[in-house]
Amino acid sequence: MCGRFVSTSTPDRIAAYFGSQLPTEVAAEPLGDNYNVAPTQDIYAVVGNPDGTARISTYHWGLVPSWAKDRKIASRMINARSETLADKPAFKGLLKKKRCIVPMDGFYEWKAGAEGGPVNAKGKPLKQPMLIRRTDGNPMAVAGLWTAWKDPDDPEGRFLHSVTVITTAADEFMAPVHDRMPAVVPPSMWATWLDPTNDDVHAVSEVFEPGRHGPREMLAVSTEVNNVRNNRPDLLEPIELP
């Protein structure tokens, strides 16, 4: 799964990297650096336009399907498995027309605790948080799905735009830590993936094939990451393991 990540690229940088439009409202109210992004927080996503262009938007992390009675379901829909997207009622329609890219400057995954490492109150080894990021400094282009939900309790009838992050089976790089990892869209497929007029599920699903991640590194970081209230640059600092 993917339950925590890093978002430090500015809207300007994201727009330049993905060749996308930067709406005035996003530029005027940037989200700011977030070193410990957690589910149900607002995040950036790149979404395709019918004319072939793309734009940056702000989304709620945790999908709220259009048929949901309330937004509580969001915390259970932060991830979607690539293998079952075409079968799940909440995702199959979105896979055809509402795909997006979630820019991540790294993500966290937790490795089984090692002997001699930190322990919890019961004396059991704590899981070790690992930071996975690109070595070239560019953001990861993680595949996602988005939708809009009309809030019945909003007197102005506004819509909540939300997103889920797509995961796929771990490759050899990630397998020692977890059996899942975020699905990354390679630059050669950005246009295909983002094109809302392309409803060829078979073609867009090619992004889930192995070997799409580019140069990566995995670093052990402080267990301070475990607390979602901690949000500081030093969370990204690598530590020496025992």
Q: Is the dihedral of CA 229, 234, 237, 241 positive or negative?
A: negative
- Which residues are identified as catalytic? 2, 109
What are the DSSP calls for 31-86, one per residue?
---EEEE-TTSEEEEEEE-TTS-EEEEEEEES---TT-SSGGGGGG-SEEEGGGTT
> What is the H or E stretch that residue 4 is in?
none
Q: Strand pairing of 159-169 and 54-61?
A: parallel
Q: Is 28 helix (H, G, I), strand (E, B) or coil?
A: helix
41: exposed, middle or buried (Cβ count in 10 Å: 0-12, 13-18, 19+)? middle
Q: Give 39: exposed, middle or buried? Use CB within 10 Å, 0-12, 13-18, 19+.
A: buried
| Contact partners, residue 24, CB within 8 Å, separation at least 6 | none
